[in-house]
Amino acid sequence: MNENLVYIITILGCVLSLLSMQHLFFGERIPAQDKRPEKIIVGKYELEISTILGVFLVSVITAILPYLLRIATPHILFPGEQSSQTVCNNLKGPYELRHGYIFVEKEDIRLRANNGHWQADDCRYLEPNKYALTGKDTTDFDIEIVIEKKFKKIATGTFEYDSKLLIENGKLLNRTFRLATEKEKKRRLVCNDKEKEKAKNTCYGIEMSKINNKINEALNIRQEEHKRLASRTCIPTSGKDSGDPILAFVCNDYTRVMNFMHTK
């Protein structure tokens, strides 16, 4: 049932009950005569008190019945609310990144998201017809810089952040997330073995001091970009792959696609 219709029915019930009460307490009465019951004048009509009492009782029931039904049978009266909760529960579980994507690219620095996971475990009731599927994202970001006119990976950092998927009237509304924090001791330097054998203070033939400066610059770029995106929302959509859910979050500069994971 449309929620606006419920409000209209409730208002009509309240108005009728108030009018009935007004006539019962303040209406002009006709005393009982010759076994005729006492009556009250309502406009051009003379109505028995029992009739007005009946209207009053019916109007009170009309006013409160929708809310009693809402408590007792929400899936019948408000199917949108029930479907939002059902959708949320059906999407709960662990997800993994389907494929990598370029998170941000600035001149000679690029960060690529790889090996991402989302542990979506909690469905939170927000308001009628609205739920939030919340969880924690963990994503590896590869740091790449231009070396010999090509992007090459020099390090990988792992970041964690909380995110939520809003569901309203049974439909996916948007995805939001908090600022990410880098997991301690999860940053890994990447150099080929031959470079390590030649000199421990170089990476791809570049001094480690310069490499570390580039890593710090890349992390600052990632943080600023994540802060910018956290103030906006991503448009979610869902699908199925062999019966399992797939979620895609379409953001301004990238699309994050997550596959449902089966745990042993």
DSSP secondary structure letters along 23-87: HHHHS-EE--BTTBPPEEEETTEEEEHHHHHHHHHHHHHHHHHHHHHHHH-HHHH-HHHHHHHHH
Contact (CB, 8 A) for 175 and 233: yes
Is 257 within 8 Å of 99 (Cβ atoms)? yes
Residues 202-229 have pLDDT tens digits of 888 888 888 889 989 998 898 888 888 7
Whole-angstrom distance, CA of residue 26 vs CA of residue 206 = 95
How large is the angle between the packed helices 3-26 and 49-72, nearest 10 degrees?
A: 150
pLDDT of residue 166: 94
Q: Name the residue with tokens 């991503």.
A: 234
Instruction: Say whether pLDDT at 193 is over 80.
Output: no
Is 60 exceeded by the pLDDT of residue 174? yes
Q: What is the pLDDT of residues 92-137, one digit of tens each?
A: 999 999 999 999 999 899 999 988 999 999 999 998 889 999 999 9
Contacts of 69 (CB under 8 A, 6+ apart): 76, 77
Using the predicted structure, report yes or no on whether residue 258 has a pLDDT greater than 50: yes
Is residue 153 over pLDDT 70? yes
Beta-carbon neighbour count of residue 108 at 10 Å?
13
> What's this model's pTM, rounded to 2 decimal places?
0.64
Q: How far apart are CA 75 and CA 43, in angstroms?
A: 42
pLDDT tens profile 57-78: 777 777 777 666 655 555 555 5
**Of all residues in the chain, what percent carry a pLDDT higher than 90?**
33
Q: Tell me if 46 sits within 8 A of 34, measured CB to CB.
A: no
Query: Which token pair is 61?
Result: 């029931």
Residue 83 is encoded by which pair of tokens?
């479907």
